[in-house]
């Protein structure tokens, strides 16, 4: 019997080379440039012998398993002990060129979760998360509000140092200049993990997925810093993981502030140098 040969497909990386024409003060030259890679990732879930596509998100390749795990955790599909295995999909219905863009998460459940999101395939861009009233209702069931005295006490000096420490850990951003980042820090400002992606939400999912797969949840004594703005979805993902302090280089949205206030989280925006705004939970800042 002849075994069919599976064609080898190059695995996409976080950056892609391109040729550009650079114009500088009237001088023109051709040079190489590095672009942040953006490709789709299809996330499938499998349980009880059945499998469905839950989402297709645009992302930067790298830490794909963490991204899938973090996304499922944030959406309430998979708990801390639900994931049995994660792998790239080699099913016959997946073209060879899409092999590294399709991830299947096998759950330790007798059947697929009964969630509205499984009744349809939804597309999320690299800039947008998946949100809705049902998601927040589920969050209220999973995570009670944080007590004002809970979580770390963080100094002004520690907060002011976080952006530079996040930037120093962004290796792909240094090449491309086109990626967001999410960093997890302890109360002393030590960087515990940093993940990059073209999408802020994906970077947070990768970070939380990393902690989930290493058994580190919940994160009741940690700080999250995102390189862009803090939105409703960013807060929802952080609160799902139990993170009490969320910081952003840019502005928060009104719904992010409302959510942080409801759940007792500390929300900081415009964290740049020694200047920042505390929108909620000022008692954790000393």
Contacts of 271 (CB under 8 A, 6+ apart): 159, 160, 162, 163, 225, 247, 248, 249
In our burial notation (b when 16+ CB lie closer than 10 A, e otherwise), range 73-101 reads bbbbbbeeebbeebeebeeeebeeebbbb
Which whole-number Å values give the CA distances from 262 to 159, 234, 252, in the listed order? 23, 15, 15
Residues 59, 71 contacting (CB under 8 angstroms): no
Q: Which residues are annotated as a binding site?
A: 270-275
The whole-angstrom separation of Cα 280 and Cα 265 is 7
The whole-angstrom separation of Cα 193 and Cα 261 is 26
Cα atoms in the Cβ-side hemisphere of radius 13 Å centred on 173: 17
Active site residue 128: yes
Catalytic residue (choose from 89, 128, 131, 247): 128
Which whole-number Å values give the CA distances from 255 to 131, 241, 246, in the listed order? 11, 18, 14
Catalytic residues: 128
């Amino acid at each position: 019997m002849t075994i069919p040969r599976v064609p080898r497909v190059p695995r996409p990386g976080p950056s892609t080379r391109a040729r550009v024409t650079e114009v500088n003060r009237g001088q023109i030259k051709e040079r190489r440039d590095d672009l942040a890679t953006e490709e789709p990732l299809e996330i499938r879930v499998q349980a009880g012998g059945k499998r469905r596509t839950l989402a297709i998100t645009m992302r930067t390749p790298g830490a794909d398993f963490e991204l899938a795990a973090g996304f499922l955790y944030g959406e309430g599909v998979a708990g801390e002990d639900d994931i049995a295995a994660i792998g790239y999909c080699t099913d016959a219905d997946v073209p060879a060129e899409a092999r590294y863009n399709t991830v299947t998460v096998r759950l330790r459940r007798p059947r697929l979760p009964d969630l509205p999101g499984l009744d349809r395939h939804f597309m999320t861009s690299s800039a947008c998360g998946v949100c809705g009233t049902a998601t927040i209702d589920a969050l209220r069931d999973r995570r009670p509000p944080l007590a004002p005295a809970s979580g770390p006490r963080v100094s002004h000096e520690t907060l002011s140092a976080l952006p530079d420490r996040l930037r120093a850990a962004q290796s792909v951003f240094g090449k491309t200049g086109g990626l967001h980042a999410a960093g997890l820090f302890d109360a002393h400002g030590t960087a515990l993990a940093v993940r990059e992606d073209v999408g802020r939400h994906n970077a947070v999912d990768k970070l939380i997925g990393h902690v989930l797969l290493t058994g580190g949840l919940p994160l009741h004594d940690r700080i999250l810093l995102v390189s862009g703005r803090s939105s409703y979805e960013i807060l929802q993902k952080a609160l799902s993981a139990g993170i009490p302090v969320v910081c952003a280089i840019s502005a928060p949205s009104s719904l992010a502030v409302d959510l942080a206030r409801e759940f007792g989280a500390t929300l900081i925006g415009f964290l740049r140098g020694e200047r920042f705004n505390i929108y909620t939970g000022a008692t954790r800042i000393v």
